[in-house]
Amino acid sequence: QKEVEQNSGPLSVPEGAIASLNCTYSDRGSQSFFWYRQYSGKSPELIMSIYSNGDKEDGRFTAQLNKASQYVSLLIRDSQPSDSATYLCAPGEGYALNFGKGTSLLVTP
């Protein structure tokens, strides 16, 4: 079963700062990763996907994948209070994955 580990936080950053969320994974064969955002009481929603080593940027979000070190990260630039949520990472074909608690992010005004 594919496993990931994330620091559960809470990670607190001031508005306008860069939030950095990290995820390590156990399966060297994982080729793709997804980041989901989950607001309290809501279901997870996909915000970023990354399929190859390196960086992928989408607006204020940048996903970084390092297969050699088996970690994937999500950077949120110009953090806004509306970014306050729990962020979950998951590998592709990770259907049997228990997501873990994710990382709780709090952006303070």
Residues 19-78 that bind another protein (CB under 8 A): 30-32, 34, 36, 42-46, 49, 51
CA-based diameter of the chain, in Å? 41
80-97 b/e (C-beta count within 10 Å ≥ 16 → b): eeebbbbbbbbbeebeeb
55 neighbors 63 (Cβ within 8 angstroms): yes
**Residue closer to another protein (CB basis): 43 or 82:** 43
For another protein, the binding residue among 13, 17, 97, 106 (CB under 8 A) is 97
Question: Of the listed pieces 9-17, 54-62, 72-80, 94-102, which binds another protein according to CB under 8 A?
Answer: 94-102
**Residue in the structure block whose two tokens are 């709090």:** 106
Residues that bind another protein (CB under 8 A): 30-32, 34, 36, 42-46, 49, 51, 86, 88, 90, 92-93, 95-102
